[in-house]
Amino acid sequence: MYYTLHQLQIFLKISELQSITKASEELHLTQPAVSIQLKNFQEQFPIPLTEVVGRQLFITDFGKEIAQAAERIINQIEEINYKTMAYQGNLSGRLKLSVVSTGKYVMPYFLSDFITENKGVDLIMDVTNKLKVIRSLELNEVDFALVSVLPEKLNVNKVELMPNKLFYVSNYDRQLPKTVSKKYLFEKIPLIYREPGSATRNAMEAFIQKNNFSVNKTIELTSNEAVKQAVISGLGCSIMPLIGNKNALKNKELKIIPTKELPITTTWNLIWLKSKNLSPVAVAFLDFLKERKEGIIKKKFGWIDDFLNI
């Protein structure tokens, strides 16, 4: 057998995604190139690795075992590379993070220079909802998690990164009465929610409950970007984080409706389990944040001040 590391990497990605098309997209290869490599890899085994039922690709039981072996091989090779770089005096290893969906507008700016300056560090960042973020932290699958609401049942350390402010927003062209009450905004206009488990949704529901509003018409969407586009289109209004809406506000697609008791302010926290034995890479990242955090906030998020006096 003469399969290559490249073939192992391609087959592992196909087995994870169960799709040649999706694997080619993630690997930045053409679909024909991935198909050819899969065919060449399969020819070295007398037992099928995959099967197609209907139009869906499935991994056979034998293929799953080969994928597990491939993952072990790839991890061992990466470990060799990390050890080599460490002996050369370079920081090396993986940095794993799980980030709530709105955090995708925040976390990359605190990572960019660290990853650029440390070529031996590989970044793995999963962007998902709050429930899955906390779950990945609880299972010790990641080094850090980015959340705006601290988990109640986990014993964690934290670094406060920056404030997270949530405003009531509508599309720019929506006509409202000259004097508009909170009751009107929440009871007369359709409200667009994030999915259950979202910290943004929890904050919005807590605000509505506190004010005893009776919401009549709601729309539920599963990402902050989807909510933003729905609000821009005029489907309704929502309470949304300011972060992520910079361009829509400046381009006059969205507008903030001044509302008593808003914005809701939380804090973006980078958290990790107190019981976790942090890797040298994770420790180095915390040191980086301690030294550079304020400069990053000033340089990358100074625009936020323009909206805080609304």
Query: Number of C-alpha atoms within 13 angstroms, CB side, residue 88?
Result: 12
What is residue 152's predicted lDDT score, i.e. its pLDDT? Answer: 85
DSSP 237: B
- What residue spans define the domains of the chain? 5-85, 91-162+267-307, 164-266
What is residue 51's predicted lDDT score, i.e. its pLDDT? Answer: 92
Tens digit of each residue's pLDDT, the chain (310 residues):
678 889 999 999 999 888 999 888 888 889 899 999 999 999 999 999 999 888 889 999 999 999 999 888 887 777 777 676 665 666 778 899 999 988 999 999 999 999 999 888 889 999 888 888 999 999 999 999 999 888 888 899 999 999 999 999 999 999 888 888 888 898 889 999 988 878 888 888 999 999 988 887 788 988 888 999 999 999 999 999 998 888 898 899 999 998 888 888 889 999 999 999 888 889 999 999 999 999 999 999 988 877 766 5
Indicate the class that CATH gives domain 5-85: mainly alpha
Answer for the pair 233, 171: CB distance below 8 angstroms, yes or no. Answer: yes
Give yes or no on whether 91-162+267-307 and 164-266 have one common fold.
yes
The whole-angstrom separation of Cα 114 and Cα 117 is: 5
Give me the architecture of the 164-266 domain, per CATH: 3-Layer(aba) Sandwich (3.40)
Give Cα 256 distance to the centre of its chain: 25
CATH superfamily of 91-162+267-307: Periplasmic binding protein-like II (3.40.190.10)
What is residue 10's predicted lDDT score, i.e. its pLDDT? Answer: 92
C-alpha to C-alpha distances, 133 to 138, 141, 201, 227, nearest whole angstrom: 9, 10, 15, 20
What is residue 89's predicted lDDT score, i.e. its pLDDT? Answer: 64
Statement: the pTM of the whole predicted model exceeds 0.85: no
What is residue 87's predicted lDDT score, i.e. its pLDDT? Answer: 57
The whole-angstrom separation of Cα 145 and Cα 133 is: 7
